[in-house]
């Protein structure tokens, strides 16, 4: 978008809104720490995490997948396969900028408290496993302030999945361990259109102290630029989808009445970002968060959180950095 067009955009100041970034940073770029000369995707990798924040995100969407030997790493995996075909060592050798879950916890803990992770569980991962990892990190090499470390991580980590039964299991586990709604927040993501009935159903999961925190209207592949082109064609199927996307306001209002946040992703078009913001969404997930600026969206009374450059020690060793 040209500077002239940018200057004509009416600015929108948003509140109670999260600036997401898909898979850390979803566009091709040059990695910073490994194979730096090749233009490629840095999904779920350290460069992507850093770029997401530097381009304006306060919430980084990241995929978690288990390796063949049962370790959690940042990876998208293969559709319909619950586990990676490599062991943790093999995967990190292949993708050195990917992070183990311990490295991810170490990295996010060293960022500002206003930076969060929105974690998709690509493999079966339980609350008990997450709590064990968090406790292990808090206790590693430390003799005090463990509770403060755990509390900060509980606020910085959010978890989501597409499967409602998994949602129920996660909420049940949270109740079992005495966690509240806002600790390790749980979100349900739907590729199909979310209805008022869906909102009513998921709002009943859990109890007053511990329940689902919000929903995401998944739009894959609606968020990709080719599909935006098709949405503008005067063909019945696309006209119906376009109308539905532009009239989510009643469903969003229903979610808000149930104290649920409403997110939309993946959206890579400034005009559609404005469409959803006008309808009252609480967050949008683009591949590049600089699209919010192109859409004329700014924060209300809140400055962007700057990146704190930090490399977990084990990653320095793997990347041969001093």
pLDDT digits (tens, 9 = 90+) for 13-70: 667 899 999 999 999 999 999 888 889 999 999 999 999 999 999 999 999 999 999 9
Please tell me the distance from the alpha carbon of residue 98 to that of residue 91, in angstroms, as a whole number: 8
Please tell me the distance from the alpha carbon of residue 270 to that of residue 297, in angstroms, as a whole number: 9
- Flag whether pLDDT at 88 surpasses 60: yes
Is residue 8 very low, low, confident or very high in pLDDT (cuts 50, 70, 90)?
A: very low
Residue with tokens 């700014």: 298
Helix (H/G/I), strand (E/B), else coil: 7 = helix
Question: Cβ(134)–Cβ(104) under 8 Å?
Answer: no
Please tell me the distance from the alpha carbon of residue 274 to that of residue 28, in angstroms, as a whole number: 24
* Mean pLDDT, the chain, integer: 90
* pLDDT of 321: 73
Please tell me the distance from the alpha carbon of residue 48 to that of residue 198, in angstroms, as a whole number: 33
Give buried/exposed letters for 41-63 (b at 16+ CB in 10 A, else e): bbbbbbbbbbbbbebbbbbbbbb
Mean pLDDT of the 261-276 span: 92
* Structural element, H or E, at residue 300: none
What percentage of the chain exceeds 70 in pLDDT? 91
* pLDDT of 2: 46
* pLDDT of 79: 79
Mean pLDDT of the 240-264 span: 91
Is residue 298 very low, low, confident or very high in pLDDT (cuts 50, 70, 90)?
A: confident
- Flag whether pLDDT at 303 surpasses 80: no
Is residue 143 very low, low, confident or very high in pLDDT (cuts 50, 70, 90)?
A: low
State in Å, rounded, how far the first CA of the chain is from the last one: 40
Q: Report domain extents, the chain.
A: 3-300
Percent helix / strand / coil, the chain, rounded to 5: 40, 20, 45
Is residue 6 very low, low, confident or very high in pLDDT (cuts 50, 70, 90)?
A: very low
Omega before 126 within 30 of 0, i.e. cis: no
Name the least confident of 139-143, 215-219, 273-277, 317-321.
139-143
Burial class (CB in 10 A: 0-12, 13-18, 19+), 319: middle
243 closest CA partner among 198, 275, 217: 275
Residues 6 or more apart in contact with residue 286 via CB below 8 angstroms = 20, 21, 22, 26, 223, 265, 266, 267, 268, 273, 292
Mean pLDDT of the 205-234 span: 81
CATH architecture of 3-300: Alpha-Beta Barrel (3.20)
Side-chain-side CA neighbours of residue 283 (13 Å): 26
Mean pLDDT of the 102-131 span: 97
- Flag whether pLDDT at 10 surpasses 60: no
What percentage of the chain exceeds 90 in pLDDT? 74
The 10 Å Cβ neighbour count of residue 163 is: 13
Residues 6 or more apart in contact with residue 235 via CB below 8 angstroms = none
Question: Cβ(124)–Cβ(83) under 8 Å?
Answer: no
* pLDDT of 111: 97
The 10 Å Cβ neighbour count of residue 209 is: 11
Give the pairing type, strands 72-74 and 116-121. unpaired
Largest Cα span, the chain: 65
Give the pairing type, strands 283-285 and 261-265. parallel
Question: Cβ(154)–Cβ(134) under 8 Å?
Answer: yes
- Flag whether pLDDT at 84 surpasses 50: yes
Side-chain-side CA neighbours of residue 82 (13 Å): 6
* pLDDT of 225: 66
Mean pLDDT of the 3-15 span: 54
* pLDDT of 305: 81
């Amino acid at each position: 978008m040209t500077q002239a067009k940018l200057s004509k955009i009416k600015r929108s100041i948003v509140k109670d809104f999260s600036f997401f970034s898909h898979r850390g940073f979803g566009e091709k770029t040059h990695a910073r720490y490994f194979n730096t000369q090749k233009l490629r995707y840095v999904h779920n990798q350290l460069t992507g995490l850093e770029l997401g924040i530097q381009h304006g995100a306060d919430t980084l969407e990241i995929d978690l997948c288990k390796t063949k030997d049962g370790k959690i790493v940042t990876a998208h995996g293969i559709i319909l396969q619950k586990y990676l075909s490599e062991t943790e060592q093999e995967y990190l050798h292949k993708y050195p900028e990917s992070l183990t879950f311990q490295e991810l916890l170490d990295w996010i803990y060293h960022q500002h408290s206003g930076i969060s992770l929105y974690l998709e569980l690509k493999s079966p991962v339980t609350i008990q496993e997450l709590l064990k990892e968090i406790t292990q990190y808090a206790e590693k090499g430390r003799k005090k302030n463990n509770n403060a470390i755990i509390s900060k991580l509980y606020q910085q980590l959010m978890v989501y999945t597409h499967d409602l039964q998994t949602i129920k299991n996660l909420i049940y586990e949270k109740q079992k361990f005495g966690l509240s709604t806002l600790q390790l927040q749980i979100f349900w993501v739907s590729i199909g259109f979310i209805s008022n009935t869906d909102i009513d159903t998921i709002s009943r999961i859990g109890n007053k102290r511990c329940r689902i925190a919000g929903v995401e209207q998944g739009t894959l592949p609606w968020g990709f630029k080719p599909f935006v082109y098709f949405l503008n064609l005067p063909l019945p199927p696309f006209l119906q989808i376009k109308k539905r996307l532009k009239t989510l306001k009643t469903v969003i209002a229903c979610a808000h009445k149930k104290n649920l946040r409403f997110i939309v992703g993946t959206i890579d078009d400034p005009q559609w970002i404005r469409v959803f913001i006008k309808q009252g969404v609480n967050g949008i997930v683009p591949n590049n968060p600089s699209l919010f600026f192109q859409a004329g969206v700014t924060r209300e009374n809140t400055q962007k959180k700057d990146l704190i450059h930090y490399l977990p020690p084990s990653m320095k060793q793997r990347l041969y950095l001093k």
